[in-house]
Amino acid sequence: MTAHNNLRWASLLVEECVRQGVTVFYAAPGSRSTPLVMAVARHPKAHLFMHVDERATAFMALGYGRATDRPAAWITTSGTALAHGFPAVIEASQEAVPMLLLTADRPPELRDTDANQTIRQDHLFGAYVRWFVDIPTPSDEIKPTWLLSTIDEAIHRARSGPVHLNCMYRKPLVPEPSDTPPGHDVWNDSAFASDDPAWQRWVHGSAPYTRMLASDSCNQAVLEELRTRLQAASRPFVVFGRLRGDVRELQAAARAFMDRYPVVGAADIGSQLRLGGVDALLLPSMDALLYGNALDGLEPDLILQFGATPVSRRLQEWAPGAERIVIDHRPRRIDPEHRGGWRLDGDAIAVLKGMTARSDVRDSHDASPWQQAWLPVHQAVQSWLADDLGEALTEQRAAHELTLRLRATDAFVVASSNPVRHADQFAGVDGDLVPVSANRGASGIDGTLATAAGFADGSNRRPVILVGDLALQHDMTSLALCAQRKAVVVVINNDGGGIFSYLPVREHTELFETWFGTPHGQDFASAARQFSMGYHQPETLEAFRSVLDAALAGDEAIVIEVCTDRSANLMEQRRLLQALSGRVHVARS
């Protein structure tokens, strides 16, 4: 009877997931998870993606959740397989990305007995999950309605971060083929017979057992106070930090807000507003602008931040005397500099729309003196991006050219370390508006390609990835996922840890290269060939443009490798930042 119960309970679990809108499942091969995988594979409305690496499948679920704001389910077998998902779980927790963890486990009597492949899976992810429940081994003594209501609560809580359901199974895991029911709806047999009206409604209906409702409405009193603070400020500045949501809806709401209030603003690369055309007073390259003292005298008296902390540390530390108001839907502290101020838990798009709902907020569309003071700065940074990047194929130029060429059908994923910083500083302002994903919750380089695969699945777009050499090496098996999704992977190969060249440790020359630079001396031609991807290593800017244009216009999965020198990159970075500072000084004089 155990095998039948395993499949029944797994099928019941999957059915309720589907009714609650969780239809995408990522899994790696394993034995103990057989009932779950079999139940998903048999369900006509479920979509199952298999990959050999548990870490990658966890990051795929993360990417999907970031793209859709709905949880995907991550299925894994027992033992150390769970631990491979920990980096993705941490990132999801830090970013409040929806995620449902369905981990298969041995039965409880095998815990702490030296049984094979049996570890303490209960509470394995500690404080990084919103909720943990041990799903007991299937039994006729437990009402199926308990499982349904547990799944409903888990998915409700998973909308604000990862939730862990640990599913224990005894052998045999599934019935013999001759005993396996032909359909996925195995709860219709006599084992689940019950006169419970709620159960009967569920069996004969298509709605979830419990309906969870949420409200996105804004508190009008809070909105009114925000309006009052903005109108009282003489130098208000808006920072669009890390945000999620429909990119066009977000852009429309942000532009309406910028038009309605006498503010100046800047957009982080993860804000969804950095690409696709920048408003006249929404500054690109804010981190680069804050290099040196070119903006002295332009400090705001109020900073209104939508979303989580931006990439730029200079922007985080800027204007310590300004009052700060942070608005984000994730109920957590967003204050790395410990400046206090206001913290509003609210959806950014809803608040932006609420702030522009009234028609009497601003009578004139003429630029305020505060906005006029920033106009020469905006012109200087545009001229800098157009004229100062040079004609050499550098890391900075590669990021710029790639962002200019993104198409409306692409999803852009940028790795941590130098790639995300270069994209934030040097992204072009005239490309298409596309969704952007960056793992900035914990800022790890691990799982970048796998995250891109899940993000592309959720966005229903082609993944275009800007990644460093170490990040690609760290996630090499996920090139298989990129190949399946016709990804364009632009890898910056500076033969080691380029980000460390920006840090003081590089002055310790006797230690730096071996222990921090960590050169590897490899390229990615063989890796691309192994995973049946095209490969190019352009050596000039003209060749890079040609290869990139062809790749984005085609439908082949491809790796484009840009080889650079770490020391030369540091010198180029300094040159560019100094050039912008000089332009701003001249423009303001």
Every domain of the chain and the residues it spans:
2-204, 220-383, 388-585
Measuring CA to CA, how many Å separate 317 from each of 268, 273, 376, 519? 15, 21, 23, 33
Contacts of 460 (CB under 8 A, 6+ apart): none
Is the entire prediction scored with pTM above 0.85? yes
**Percent residues over pLDDT 90 in the chain:** 78
Under the banding of pLDDT at 50, 70 and 90, the label for residue 277 is: confident
Decide if pLDDT at 158 tops 70: yes
Which of 244, 236, 237 minimizes the C-alpha distance to 286?
Answer: 237
Q: Is 327 helix (H, G, I), strand (E, B) or coil?
A: strand
| pLDDT score for 165 | 98
What distance in Å separates the CA atoms of residue 20 and residue 25, rounded to the nearest whole number?
13
Report the C-alpha gap between 63 and 47 in whole angstroms: 15
Count of other CB atoms within 10 angstroms of residue 365? 8
Report the pLDDT value the prediction gives residue 513, as an integer from 0 to 100. Answer: 66
Angle between helices 54-68 and 86-95 (to 10 degrees): 20
Task: Give 277-283's long-range contacts (Cβ < 8 A, gap of 24+).
Answer: 277/429, 277/430, 277/433, 278/429, 279/254, 279/255, 280/375, 280/378, 281/367, 281/371, 281/374, 281/378, 282/240, 282/254, 282/258, 283/374, 283/377, 283/378, 283/381
Contact 52, 30 (CB under 8 A): no
Express each pLDDT in 402-456 by its tens digit. 999 999 999 999 999 999 999 999 999 888 999 999 999 999 999 999 999 999 9
Mean pLDDT of 390-413: 97
Q: What string of H, E and C letters represents the secondary structure of 410-450?
A: EEEEECCCHHHHHHHHHCCCCCCCCCEECCCCCCCCCCHHH
CATH of 220-383, picked from 3.40.50.10090, 3.40.50.1220, 3.30.470.20, 2.70.210.12, is 3.40.50.1220
Helix, strand, coil abundance in the chain, percent, nearest 5: 45, 15, 40
pLDDT per residue as tens digits for the range 175-216? 888 778 778 888 777 667 788 889 999 999 999 999 887 666
pLDDT at position 572 over 80: yes
Q: Which residue has the tokens 């004609």?
A: 391
CA 538 and chain centroid, separation? 29
CB atoms within 10 A of CB 215: 6
Class of 2-204 in CATH = alpha beta
Greater model confidence, 380 or 211: 380
Q: Grade residue 360 by pLDDT with cuts at 50, 70 and 90.
A: low
Predicted pLDDT at 254: 93
Pick the CATH number of 388-585 from 3.30.43.10, 3.40.50.970, 2.130.10.10, 3.40.50.300: 3.40.50.970
Q: How far apart are the first and last CA of the chain?
A: 84
Cα–Cα dist 522/10, whole Å: 45
